[in-house]
Amino acid sequence: MNNPSTSAPSTRTRIRRLPELANYERHALYEIIDQSYVCHIAFNDGESTHCMPTACWRQDDYLYIHGSNGGRLTKTLLAGAQVSIAITHIDGLVLARSAFSHTMNYRSAVIYGVFEAVEGNINKMAAMDTFMDKIAEGRKTEARPGNDKELAATSVLRISLAEAATKISNTNPVDKEEDLDLPVWAGVLPMSVKHGEPIHMENGAIATPDYVTHWQKSV
Amino acid sequence: MNNPSTSAPSTRTRIRRLPELANYERHALYEIIDQSYVCHIAFNDGESTHCMPTACWRQDDYLYIHGSNGGRLTKTLLAGAQVSIAITHIDGLVLARSAFSHTMNYRSAVIYGVFEAVEGNINKMAAMDTFMDKIAEGRKTEARPGNDKELAATSVLRISLAEAATKISNTNPVDKEEDLDLPVWAGVLPMSVKHGEPIHMENGAIATPDYVTHWQKSV
């Protein structure tokens, strides 16, 4: 289940802890990003180091975020701050027979680099359309599109995924030999994302789109 | 549903964007931490800014993490690095009638400060017991406890929650007046954590603890 590759793209993306869990494969990285609606961005603004959650999406080999032009995050990132971005999915609690052998199953990605602005309304709109497709495929043709004023007030930023590493743990409990016969339950308590029943604002006056109808079945 | 208070504990925990969503109440902060198994820690090691996911738990007004003594994260944090820690729950996608009015419902916490070591085997063990209670209440009396060697190889760190802020968005779609009559579905697609069917390693030879039996019903 773990699929380490033989090389990391940089010294700081080399996994130091549990290197056998490292997985530098692109498809794993893409899946971790594509399944998450939020990333955590670490940056230093010259005074403090910050960790900020923000919505994210991916196109090709870039991670995208957006924000208002006047926001601190946007301004600091576009000033060239070096960032580290982490995305983590917790897939389960792994209960071993001894306390210190307990662990979690997870999939995480860490990305290093510097953001760049997506320039021009056509490029910004294309990036925002990709974001909308992630939220609800097809909705970009239904919702009122952003107008020039809305687009002008919004910054779209992207960062290359060239310097990224993933770490995946997907394991059953592993106990020391001498603990295996202890009368202690061992196993995995799985966790995942649940989609709840959609909340309709429309009282049936407007046809329900497929992505709403299928929301609860889509995970 | 949003419950802003009138003051933030420091300049950097004052919410700049959407200040009406700020919520400095302790109980909200505690709940956000207690419902998450992972936090993201931003720190600078003198060369780069990093964002690292790690397991976390809370006792009283402290957030706790643990790691191996030799790990980079542990060493850097105990050297006094200023950190920013974020925890985020995504509760739903909010689909408005216009593209740029889409948003998400979420609960997030950001904590600033410096970690300190939890010293002494008794204190370390007590902290790890609290972690075990978070994972599975009562299991600390069943699993083999850590021995001196295991405890000695593990660092337990804690950080005060004195400088922390929470931000909570729990809203239905909000559209501009002129968009309200557009023939576009609007509503909320809720998301939460799902507990899956426990994976048993024991083939029924060992009684199933209550926290395993009730796992799927517990969220």
Cβ pair A207:B185 closer than 8 A: yes
Q: Residue B208: its pLDDT value, please? A: 93
DSSP-derived letter for residue B144 is B
pLDDT single digits (tens) B138-168: 999 999 999 999 999 999 999 999 999 999 9
Nearest chain A residue (CA) to B18: A71
pTM, entire model? 0.92
Q: Residue B96 is inside which H or E element, if any?
A: none
Q: Is B82 in a helix, a strand, or coil?
A: strand
Q: Residue B49: its pLDDT value, please? A: 98
Mutate which: B76, B90, B201, vs A, most A CBs within 10 A: B201
Q: Are B95 and A139 in contact (CB under 8 A)?
A: yes
Lowest mean pLDDT among A31-40, A53-62, A210-219: A210-219
Q: Residue B7: its pLDDT value, please? A: 52
Nearest chain B residue (CA) to A15: B72
pLDDT single digits (tens) B204-215: 789 999 999 999
Confidence of residue A18 (pLDDT cuts 50, 70, 90): low
Backbone region of residue B92 per phi and psi (left: phi > 0; alpha: psi in -120 to 50; beta: other values): left
Q: Residue B10: its pLDDT value, please? A: 78
CA B186, B188, B194 angle in degrees (round to 5)? 155
Tokens of A2: 């773990």
Whether ipTM tops 0.95, in short, is: no
CA A112, A33, A102 angle in degrees (round to 5)? 90
pLDDT single digits (tens) A167-185: 999 999 999 999 999 999 9
Mutate which: B13, B51, B102, vs A, most A CBs within 10 A: B51
Distance from CA of A17 to the nearest CA of B (A): 7
Cβ pair B93:A37 closer than 8 A: yes
Q: How many CB atoms lie within 10 A of CB A50?
A: 23
- pLDDT at position B68 over 60: yes
Of the two residues A50 and B1, the one the predictor is more confident about is A50
Lowest mean pLDDT among A62-66, A68-72, A80-84, B5-9: B5-9
Lowest mean pLDDT among B16-25, B144-153, B185-194: B16-25
**DSSP sequence for A19-67:** GGGEE--HHHHHHHHHT-SEEEEEEE-SS-EEEEEEE-EEETTEEEEEE
Cβ pair B53:A108 closer than 8 A: yes
Please list every residue in chain A whose beta carbon sits closer than 8 Å to the beta carbon of residue B198: 187-190
pLDDT single digits (tens) A128-173: 999 999 999 999 999 999 999 999 999 999 999 999 999 999 999 9
Q: Residue B128: its pLDDT value, please? A: 97
pLDDT single digits (tens) B172-184: 999 999 999 999 9
Distance from CA of B185 to the nearest CA of A (A): 6
Query: How many Å apart are CA B213 and CA B204, to the nearest integer?
Result: 13
Q: How high is the mean pLDDT of chain A?
A: 91
Mutate which: A35, A39, A179, A189, vs B, most B CBs within 10 A: A189
Q: How many CB atoms lie within 10 A of CB B169?
A: 18
Contacting residues for B123 by C-beta, under 8 A, at least 6 apart: B156
Q: How high is the mean pLDDT of chain B?
A: 91
CA dihedral (B2, B7, B13, B16) in degrees, to 10, reads: 60
Range B97-116 average pLDDT: 97
Cβ pair A136:B202 closer than 8 A: no
Range B119-148 average pLDDT: 96
Please list every residue in chain B whose beta carbon sits closer than 8 Å to the beta carbon of residue A11: none
CA B112, B116, B121 angle in degrees (round to 5)? 145
- pLDDT at position A1 over 80: no
Tokens of B45: 């090691």
Q: How many CB atoms lie within 10 A of CB B198?
A: 22
Which domains does chain B show, CATH number per domain? 11-217 (2.30.110.10)
Q: Residue B217: its pLDDT value, please? A: 87
